[in-house]
Structure 1
Amino acid sequence: MVSSISRSMSLIAFLQAQNCSNYVGSWRHPRSMSDFLTPDYFQRIARTLEAARFDMAFFDDRLAMPEIYGRSPDLAVCNGIRSVKMDPTVVLMAMAMATTHLGLGATYSTTYYEPFHVARLFATLDQMSRGRVAWNIVTSLNDSEAANFGRATHLGHDERYDRADEFLEIVTQMWTAWEHDALIMDKSTGRFADPAKVHRTDYSGEFFTVDGTFTVPQSPQGHPVLLQAGSSGRGMSFAGRWADVVFTAFKNKDLGAAQYRKIKQAVADAGRDPGQVSVTPAVGVIVAETPEQVAEKERVLRGLATQADGLALLCETLNVDFGDRPVDQPFTDDELAKMSWQGLRDRVLTASGTPNPSVADFVRYSGRGTLDEGGMFIGTPEQVADQMEEWFDTCCDGFVLAAGEVPGSYEDFARLVVPVLQRRGLVKRDYAGATLRENLGLSIPTRRTSESATGRPAQVSA
Structure 2
Amino acid sequence: MAKRTRHIKLGLFLIVDGSHEAAWRHPDATSARGMAFKRYVDVVTTADRNFFDFVFLADTLGITSDNLPMISRNARSECYDPIVLLSALAPFTQAVGLVATASTSYNDPYQVARRFASLDHLSDGRAGWNVVTSANRFEALNLSSDDLPPHEARYRRAREFVSVVKGLWDSWDDHAFVRDKESGLYFEPSKMHVLDHRGEFFSVRGPLNIPRSPQGHPVIVQAGSSEDGQDLAAATADVVFTAQDNLADARDFYAKLKARLQRYDRGEEDLIIMPGIFPVVGRTQGEAEDRFESLQSLLHPDVGIPFISRLGGLDLSGLALDDMLPSVIDATNSSKSRQKLFVATARRDSLTIRQMFMRFAGARGHLQVVGTAATIADCIEEWVSTRAADGFNVMPPLLPSSMNDFKDLVIPELQRRGLLSSAIRTGTLREKLGLRHPPDMSHVYASDRPDELPLHSRIEP
TM-score normalised by length of structure 2: 0.89
Shift of 1:317: 3.7
Specify whether residues 307 and 240 from structure 1 end up closer, same or farther in structure 2 by C-alpha distance, changes over 3 A only: farther
* Match in the other structure for 2:371: 379
Specify whether residues 169 and 364 from structure 1 end up closer, same or farther in structure 2 by C-alpha distance, changes over 3 A only: same
Residues 301-334 of structure 1, C-alpha deviations (whole Å, 9 max, x = no match) = 222333433433333345565344575573646x
Q: Helix, strand or coil for the counterpart of 1:439? A: helix
1:349-368 counterparts in 2 under 5 A? 349-353=343-347, 360=352, 364=356, 367-368=359-360
- Which piece of structure 1 moves more, 73-82 or 91-100? 73-82
Find 2:264's aligned residue among 243, 247, 270.
Answer: 270
Q: Is the 8 A contact 2:86 2:98 kept in 1?
A: yes
Shift of 1:295: 2.7
Q: Where do 4+ consecutive residues of structure 1 move more than 4 Å? A: 318-321, 323-329, 357-363
- Unaligned 5+ residue runs, structure 1? 450-456
- Unaligned 5+ residue runs, structure 2? 445-454
CA distance in 1, matches of 2:13, 2:199: 34
- Which piece of structure 1 moves more, 161-170 or 416-425? 416-425
Specify whether residues 36 and 276 from structure 1 end up closer, same or farther in structure 2 by C-alpha distance, changes over 3 A only: farther
CA distance in 2, matches of 1:314, 1:195: 55
Q: Helix, strand or coil for the counterpart of 2:276? A: strand
Is 1:411 paired with 2:407?
no
Specify whether residues 77 and 58 from structure 1 end up closer, same or farther in structure 2 by C-alpha distance, changes over 3 A only: same
Say how many residue pairs are matched.
Answer: 443
Q: Helix, strand or coil for the counterpart of 1:97? A: helix
* Match in the other structure for 1:42: 40
Q: Helix, strand or coil for the counterpart of 1:44? A: helix
1:8-407 counterparts in 2 under 5 A? 8-16=7-15, 20-34=17-31, 35-67=33-65, 72-317=66-311, 322-324=316-318, 328=324, 330=326, 332=328, 335-336=330-331, 338-353=332-347, 360=352, 364=356, 367-371=359-363, 373-394=365-386, 395-407=388-400
Q: Is the 8 A contact 1:64 1:145 kept in 2?
A: yes
Q: Helix, strand or coil for the counterpart of 1:238? A: helix
- Which piece of structure 1 moves more, 120-129 or 281-290? 281-290
Is 1:7 paired with 2:3?
no
Is 1:426 paired with 2:423?
no
Specify whether residues 290 and 249 from structure 1 end up closer, same or farther in structure 2 by C-alpha distance, changes over 3 A only: same
Superposed CA RMSD in Å reads 2.6
- Which piece of structure 1 moves more, 201-210 or 103-112? 201-210
CA distance in 2, matches of 1:154, 1:225: 27
Shift of 1:365: 8.3
CA distance in 1, matches of 2:351, 2:133: 25
Q: Is the 8 A contact 1:173 1:447 kept in 2?
A: no
- Which piece of structure 1 moves more, 286-295 or 219-228? 286-295
Q: Is the 8 A contact 1:178 1:197 kept in 2?
A: yes
CA distance in 2, matches of 1:22, 1:287: 14
Shift of 1:458: 6.9
Residues 202-252 of structure 1, C-alpha deviations (whole Å, 9 max, x = no match) = 111111111232111112211210000121111110111111110001111
CA distance in 2, matches of 1:350, 1:320: 13
Residues 386-441 of structure 1, C-alpha deviations (whole Å, 9 max, x = no match) = 22111111210000111211111111100111111112211122233321111000
Of all paired residues, the percent bearing the same amino acid is: 33
Q: Is the 8 A contact 2:135 2:333 kept in 1?
A: no
Specify whether residues 260 and 309 from structure 1 end up closer, same or farther in structure 2 by C-alpha distance, changes over 3 A only: farther
CA distance in 2, matches of 1:85, 1:363: 29
CA distance in 2, matches of 1:118, 1:347: 31
Specify whether residues 416 and 139 from structure 1 end up closer, same or farther in structure 2 by C-alpha distance, changes over 3 A only: same
CA distance in 2, matches of 1:174, 1:359: 48
* Match in the other structure for 1:454: none
Give 1 or 2: higher strand fraction. 1
* Match in the other structure for 2:447: none
- Which piece of structure 1 moves more, 108-117 or 55-64? 55-64
Residues 40-95 of structure 1, C-alpha deviations (whole Å, 9 max, x = no match) = 1011001211221100001111112121xxxx341244202512232111221232
